[in-house]
């Protein structure tokens, strides 16, 4: 079995798979070494949003980066379907974030204005009151104050996206090696050596896309990747007659007709279990926004751990001491997928980086 490659991507989630596809388009010898079937795997807990509104209110480059990513999505989805036959279900008709209190409304409006300023008007939004909201989504409750709306937002099926990326990887000749969690990495005679569960791999370039494991793993090659878990719980319902024509931050309707209801932000360490308190709270919120959902049955509830950097922004880092070693982390693996498969992959292949990439280096965490 071949164990020597030009490039090894550690981690086969949304980030690793997208980057692997991008590199494999240019370079034949790529392998993705992945962890186990029951590992934490943030990609399986993703809500599926292609989301721009609110991003980068405190950091202009992120606003630009997210906008760029969202605008690339239609072409990216089409290419994936043409290449693999998998329809990731992109619906990009705009997104709503509901405001249930005046305080929420005021804070949101403030946030939207800042993003708009950062992007010099490229980011657009509307603040809609209850009447305007009901004109677009009649099932919204009278008690909802309103919502922020941004036309560039949307959603996909995140699991189908992962599947499509894996398919594309295979079509491009990438080797996918599951169940091989990396134990340690080192440099030896000018290449990188990865010690996994019982196997050893070798490469010229190594990309750490291992989610929460990045912190421990990337340290072997002198990189400081501070990531912490942040739990989000999600609810999925039975199939319901289609009524939601677009994505919202609280409830989205999948192409199968099921409803996905989210989400929470809990600092509980490496614990992806569900809690009764959050499940009932999410259900109550969904019903308060859409009262007709009261009779809809819950099918499954689960928790997943987001991979969060201290400032919540992506991390695109090239090791200063070990050329050829990179670390990539973000919690928006869906929104940014197209850029990971293009700009990030190209940068890793040696092209001059897009000017925005350097804004997200890990150097910002070195005090």
Q: Which residues bind another protein (CB under 8 A)?
A: 12, 34-38, 44, 159-160, 162-163, 166-167, 170, 176-179, 235-242, 253, 256-257, 261, 273-276, 279-280, 283-284, 286-288, 293-302
Write the burial class of residue 25 (CB in 10 Å: 0-12 exposed, 13-18 middle, 19+ buried): middle
The residue (of 187 and 260) whose beta carbon lies closer to another protein is: 260
Rank residues 119 and 274 by Cβ distance to another protein and give the closer one.
Answer: 274
Q: Which is nearer to another protein, 60 or 244 (CB)?
A: 244
By C-beta, is 144 or 235 nearer to another protein?
Answer: 235
Cα 123 off chain centre by: 20
Triad 275, 335, 11: Cα angle to 5°: 75
Shortest Cβ distance from residue 34 to another protein (Å)?
Answer: 6
Q: Between the CA of residue 77 and those of 73, 82, 104, 258, what are the distances in Å?
A: 6, 9, 33, 21
Nearer to another protein by C-beta: 121 or 273?
273
In this complex, which beta carbon is closest to another protein, that of residue 3 or of residue 119? 3
Residue 319 · residue 333 · CB < 8 Å: no
CB of 320 to another protein, least distance (A): 33
Q: Which is nearer to another protein, 295 or 366 (CB)?
A: 295
Q: Smallest distance from the beta carbon of 193 to another protein, in angstroms? A: 23
**Matching residue, tokens 């980011």:** 123
**Which structure tokens are listed for 179?**
């169940």
CA 251/CA 236 separation, integer angstroms: 10
Shortest Cβ 131–another protein spacing (Å): 25
CB of 355 to another protein, least distance (A): 35
- Residue of 220, 95, 68, 106 lying closest to 149 (CA atoms): 95
E strand or H helix that includes residue 315: strand 315-318
Asked if 261 and 278 count as a contact pair (C-beta separation under 8 A), the reply is no
Smallest gap, in angstroms, from Cβ of residue 238 to another protein?
6
Cβ at position 167, least distance to another protein in Å: 7
Contact (Cβ atoms closer than 8 angstroms) between residue 11 and residue 175? no
Q: How far, in Å, CA of 85 to CA of 348, rounded?
A: 28
Place of tokens 């308060």: 288
Buried b (16+ CB within 10 A) or exposed e, 216-254: ebbebbebebebebbbbbbbbbeebeeebebbbbbbbbb
What's the min distance (Å) between Cβ of 239 and another protein?
A: 5
Contact, 214 vs 230, CB < 8 A?
Answer: no
Considering the complex, state which of residue 135 and residue 284 has its C-beta at the smaller distance from another protein: 284
Nearest to 147 by CA among 155, 135, 158: 135
CB 180 within 8 A of CB 34: yes
Based on CB atoms, which residue is closest to another protein, 116 or 288? 288
Q: How far is the CB of 286 from another protein (least distance, A)?
A: 6
The candidate with the shortest Cα–Cα distance to 350, out of 229, 228, 188, 205, is: 205
Comparing CB distances to another protein, the nearer of 49 and 115 is 49
Q: Report in angstroms how near the CB of residue 96 gets to another protein at its nearest.
A: 19
CB 146 within 8 A of CB 2: no
């Amino acid at each position: 079995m071949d164990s020597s490659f030009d490039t090894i991507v550690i981690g086969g989630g949304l980030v690793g798979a997208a980057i692997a596809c991008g590199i494999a388009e240019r370079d034949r010898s790529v392998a993705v070494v992945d962890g186990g079937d029951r590992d934490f795997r943030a990609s399986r807990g993703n809500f599926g949003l292609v989301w721009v509104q609110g991003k980068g209110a405190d950091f202009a480059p992120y606003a630009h980066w997210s906008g760029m990513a969202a605008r690339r999505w239609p072409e990216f989805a089409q290419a994936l379907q043409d290449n693999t036959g998998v329809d990731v279900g992109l619906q990009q008709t705009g997104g709503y974030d509901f405001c249930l209190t005046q305080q929420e409304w005021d804070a949101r409006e403030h946030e939207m204005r800042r993003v708009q300023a950062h992007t010099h008007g490229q980011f657009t939004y509307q603040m809609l009151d209850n009447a305007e909201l009901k004109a677009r989504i009649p099932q919204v409750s009278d008690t909802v104050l309103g919502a922020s709306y941004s036309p560039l937002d949307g959603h996909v099926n995140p699991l189908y996206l992962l599947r499509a990326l894996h398919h594309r990887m295979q079509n491009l000749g990438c080797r996918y090696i599951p169940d091989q969690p990396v134990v340690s990495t080192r440099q030896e005679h000018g290449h990188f050596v990865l010690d996994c569960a019982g196997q050893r791999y070798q490469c010229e370039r190594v990309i750490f896309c291992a989610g929460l494991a990045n912190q421990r793993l990337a340290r072997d090659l002198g990189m400081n990747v501070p990531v912490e878990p942040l739990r989000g719980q999600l609810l999925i319902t039975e199939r319901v007659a289609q009524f939601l024509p677009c994505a919202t931050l609280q409830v989205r309707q999948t192409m199968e007709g099921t409803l996905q209801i989210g989400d929470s932000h809990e600092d509980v360490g490496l614990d992806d279990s569900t809690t009764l308190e959050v499940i009932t709270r999410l259900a109550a919120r969904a019903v308060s926004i859409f009262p007709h959902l009261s009779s809809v049955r819950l099918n499954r509830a689960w928790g997943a751990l987001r991979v969060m950097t201290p400032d919540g922004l992506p991390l695109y880092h090239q090791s200063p001491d070990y050329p050829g070693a990179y670390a990539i982390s973000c919690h928006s693996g869906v929104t940014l997928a197209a850029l990971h498969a293009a700009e990030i992959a190209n940068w890793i292949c040696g092209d001059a980086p897009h000017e925005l990439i350097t804004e997200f280096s890990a150097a910002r965490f070195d005090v």
